[in-house]
Amino acid sequence: MEVDEQIKVFRDFIEQNYWPQLLEAVRKGNYFLVLDFGELVKFNTEICEELLESPEELLKAGELAIKEFDLPKKIVKFSLRMKNLPVSQKLAISEIRSKHLGKFIWAEGVVRQKSDVRPHVTAAKFECPSCGNILNVLQLDKKYKEPSRCSCGRKGKFKEISKELVDGQGLVLEESPDDLDNSSQPKRMNVFLKDDLVSPITEKRSSPGSRVKVAGWIAEVPITLKTGGQSTKYDLIVEANNVEPLQDELYDIDVNEKELEEIRKIAKNPNVLSVLANNIAPSIYGHDKVKEALVLQLAGGCRKERPDGVVTRGDMHILLIGDPGSGKSQLLKRITKIGPKARFTSGKGATAAGLTASVVKDEFLGGWSLEAGTLVLANQGFAVIDEMDKMGKDDRSALHEALEQQTVSISKANIQATLKCQTTVLAAANPKFGRFDPYGIISEQIDLPPTLINRFDLIFPIKDLPNREKDEKMASFILSLHQNPDKAMSEISTTLLKKYFAYIRQKIEPKMTDAAVEELKEYYISMRNSGGVEGGIKSIPITARQLEGLVRLSEASAKIRLGKTVTKKDAQKAIELIDYCLNQIAKDKETGQIDIDRLTSKLTATQRSTISIVKEVIHTLEEQLGMKVIPVEMVLQAAAEKNISAETAEDVMEKLRRSGDIFEPKKGHIQRL
């Protein structure tokens, strides 16, 4: 087809189908128009075939066609954008080859990086100082080109009159993990956006971590060697023609009627929680409570945004701490298969930058750009972190904000950004000394900072204690699986489970009923005030964070049975789980009370009260004896009267010595500082 004919076809097509849109765009000052490929096919198939083969030339013809219209404003530059390209043109990023150069394609992926917007020169005009001739030079390479000679014979030193600039921005698009086979490494592609594609509206759509669909053509970029010559290798880059966000469809689920029927059938079962718990990891024996908690975590609570801008998260975080060989990693791997948009990382291989976000040097356009990490990429999905205790200290501190506020803020290399990170975290760790000491304080055996532990809604210690009856069942279960691997088939298929959880996460938002609120309130108040008073210090059994955890758990319990409201029964299920966790972890064996401080600080309330009693004793003795230096013997005697053993009192004095509250002026005597 000749160029004149192409221009004519475009002119007729736009006049018939897009005239009002064109006028509106020009009036608003938007110099671009989005055309639907499907409409163009109906209008003229021949031009569509040519468009897919050589998009650049045909879109130029389309732009020339627009300049022929009698428009209210004079147009210098106008762009045409295409949407709804045929499925045959869809390419996976890893499949892009040299035969696709110059062809019109589209691809989907996750934005990993994004550079700043910078102007690029497209053409420059030069004047010859000798004869006044004007030379136009197109700037296609990375290097700025000046004319080599003029027709009058002059070489070199031309005067630049003007140059045309366009705004350019680079994205790095990565294949989305859902489209990959299990193990392959996701491939990346540079995408170049220019003109209106970098406007502030699209800026929001393409922030790192968001999914986009990019239509454009593949171009090669010459690589310049350090010596100044040109390499035989070329870089590939997609020149974007249109970018559409895909964030609205949260999970790619197409639940057909038949599956919806099955989902409803599962939800109608009165024991829906235990049915799902049994199917969630059929090849792992026992751990029923943990499996129930994981089902609730997969369902998730409801995210609430209040008018004052405060957001309460709906995602539950669970931490499994257990002896080696208790099946933690297997559970995590299984959740990665079922959870929507799940990503798996392991402790030693995870750094703060890899989990949250990092600022990297941009090779493509120069400058710095943001790169999203696991938690940001798993936004609206699951981040599964194994071996959390093996992570570096600085790297773990990056999780604090991500777990509670569900954002990741970054201020580095002149980039200040806050990325969304509405991610559910499931983590596993080993105790400090490899195994649990059944008699020690659990918090001392968890090598994680108290502030981080506090952000997990449920913490399960998985203890592996010998028990003849249990061991026998477990051994026969594991061995029969080795004998017959197909035995651990779940009744519900993995695909259906995945769809089930994606469906309830997306569609169901239960509301709290008064009965449920009352139940939770009662439990919270009775727990808060059940702590024993020791030496004037109350042990705190539960904090407001656990209360929010209770709400999330009860909402998840309602979601599982597709309920519209959270009933008293759901609240009781939540209480049962939290109570189980607190009894496992925070019970003070000396008093039998539940004390959250065992978990969230290194001193239990009992120890704190002992310290305050010993301090009081020293103070009283000072007043009675009227002297500063007190014999240790007298302190031990006075402490014994208050039911504190000599050992404990000595331990406490040692602690006070270390913290600099008391010192020893001479042997066997102490003095307060």
Is residue 367 domain-shared with residue 262, that is, in the same domain?
yes
Measure the CA–CA gap between 173 and 191, rounded to whole angstroms.
Answer: 7
Report the C-alpha gap between 424 and 445 in whole angstroms: 25
User: Percent of the chain at pLDDT above 70?
Assistant: 88
Minimal CA–CA distance to 241: which of 96, 47, 44, 51?
Answer: 51
Residues 467 and 615 both lie in one domain = no
In a domain, 230, yes or no: yes
| Alpha carbons 571 and 513: distance in angstroms, whole number | 10
Q: Do 590 and 617 sit in the same domain of this protein?
A: no
Q: Which of 245, 268, 302 is the last residue of a domain?
A: 245
252 domain-assigned: no
Q: Decide if 392 is inside a domain.
A: yes
pLDDT at 178: 65
Total tally of structural domains belonging to the chain:
4
Q: Mean of the pLDDT values across residues 367-395? A: 78
- Residue 515 and residue 614 in one domain: no
For β-strands 159-174 and 104-114, DSSP reports them as antiparallel
Q: What is the CATH number of the domain that holds 362?
A: 3.40.50.300
Minimal CA–CA distance to 313: which of 203, 401, 427?
401
pLDDT per residue as tens digits for the range 21-74? 888 888 877 778 888 888 888 887 888 888 888 888 888 888 888 777 777 777
Q: Is the pTM of this model over 0.85?
A: no
Contact 426, 419 (CB under 8 A): no
* pLDDT at 248 (0 to 100): 46
pLDDT at 20: 83
Question: Are both 399 and 505 inside the same structural domain?
Answer: yes
Provide the β-strand partners of residue 148: none
Same domain membership, residue 182 and residue 228: yes
- Quickly count: other Cβ atoms within 10 Å of residue 619's Cβ: 11
Residue 581 reports pLDDT greater than 60 = yes
Q: What domain range includes position 70? A: 3-84
> If DSSP codes are grouped into helix, strand and coil, which group holds residue 538?
strand
Q: What is the CATH number of the domain that holds 645?
A: 1.10.10.10
- State whether 306 and 208 are in the same domain: no
Of 180, 213, 245, the domain-final residue: 245
Residue with tokens 């532990």: 453
The answer to the question of residue 463 being in a domain is: yes
Interval 410-446: pLDDT, tens: 787 777 777 778 888 888 888 877 777 766 666 667 7
Q: For residue 540, which of 588, 596, 604, 578 has the smallest C-alpha distance?
A: 596
Judge contact between 34 and 202, C-beta under 8 A. no
CA 571, 577, 581, 584 torsion: positive or negative?
positive
Over residues 551-579, the mean pLDDT reads 86
- Indicate whether 152 and 77 sit together in one domain: no
Residue 47, domain CATH: 3.30.1640.10
User: For residue 97, is pLDDT > 80?
Assistant: yes
| Res 631: pLDDT | 86
Which single residue is written with the structure tokens 């004037």? 536
Rounded Cα distance between 295 and 289, Å, is: 10
pLDDT band at 396 (very low <50, low <70, confident <90, very high): confident
* Residue 431, number of CB atoms within 10 A of its CB: 22
Angstrom distance (rounded) from CA 399 to CA 601 = 18
pLDDT exceeds cutoff 80 at 296: yes
Distance CA 94, CA 536 (A): 66
Backbone angles phi, psi at 139, to 5 degrees: -100, 100
Query: Is residue 593 situated within a structural domain?
Result: yes
CA geometry: angle 274, 521, 318, nearest 5 deg: 45
Give yes or no for a contact between 441 and 390, defined as CB atoms under 8 angstroms apart. no
pLDDT, mean of residues 108-136: 80
Q: Give ∠ CA 70-5-89 in degrees, rounded to 5.
A: 100
pLDDT at 602: 56
Please tell me the predicted confidence (pLDDT) of residue 536.
45
Nearest Cα neighbor of 358 from 423, 424, 409, 425 is: 409
Shared domain check, 367 and 485: yes
- In a domain? residue 301: yes
Can you give the pLDDT at residue 206? Answer: 66
| Rounded-to-integer distance, Cα 390 and Cα 532, Å | 36
- pLDDT, mean over the chain: 79
* Structure token digits, residue 410: 């970054």
| Tokens encoding 52 | 């897919």
Asked if the structure places residue 250 within a domain, the reply is no
More confident position, 248 or 515:
515
Q: How far apart are the first and last CA of the chain?
A: 96
Please state, in angstroms and rounded to a whole number, the distance separating the CA atoms of residues 292 and 276.
8
Distance between CA atoms of residues 343 and 109, nearest Å? 15
**DSSP secondary structure letters along 263-274:** HHHHHHSTTHHH
Q: Say if residues 510 and 551 touch (Cβ distance below 8 Å).
A: no
DSSP letters of 343-378? EEEEGGG--HHHHSEEEEE-TTTSSEEEEE-HHHHT
Write down the pLDDT at residue 249.
46
Nearest by Cα to 260 from 558, 507, 509: 507
pLDDT of amino acid 537:
47
**151-168: pLDDT as tens digits:** 777 777 788 888 878 788
Same domain, 502 and 613: no
CATH number at residue 137: 2.40.50.140
Percentage of the chain beyond pLDDT 90 is 0
Q: Are residues 347 and 241 in the same domain?
A: no
Residue 92, Cα to own-chain centre: how many angstroms? 23
Tokens 């597709």 found at: 562
Distance (Å, whole) CA 131 – CA 98: 45
* Residue ending a domain, choose from 546, 580, 600: 600
Instruction: Give whichever of 482-496, 542-556, 590-604 has the largest mean pLDDT.
Output: 542-556
Tokens 């064996």 map to which residue? 589
Confidence at 592, pLDDT banded by 50, 70, 90: low
Any idea what DSSP says for residue 217?
Answer: E
Q: What is the pLDDT of residues 226-241, one digit of tens each?
A: 777 777 888 888 888 8
User: Which residue in this structure is represented by tokens 């030379």?
Assistant: 135
CA dist., res. 48 & res. 673, Å (int): 88
Instruction: Look at residue 126 and tell me whether its pLDDT is greater than 80.
Output: yes
Worst-scoring range by mean pLDDT, 188-192, 283-287, 529-533, 640-644? 529-533
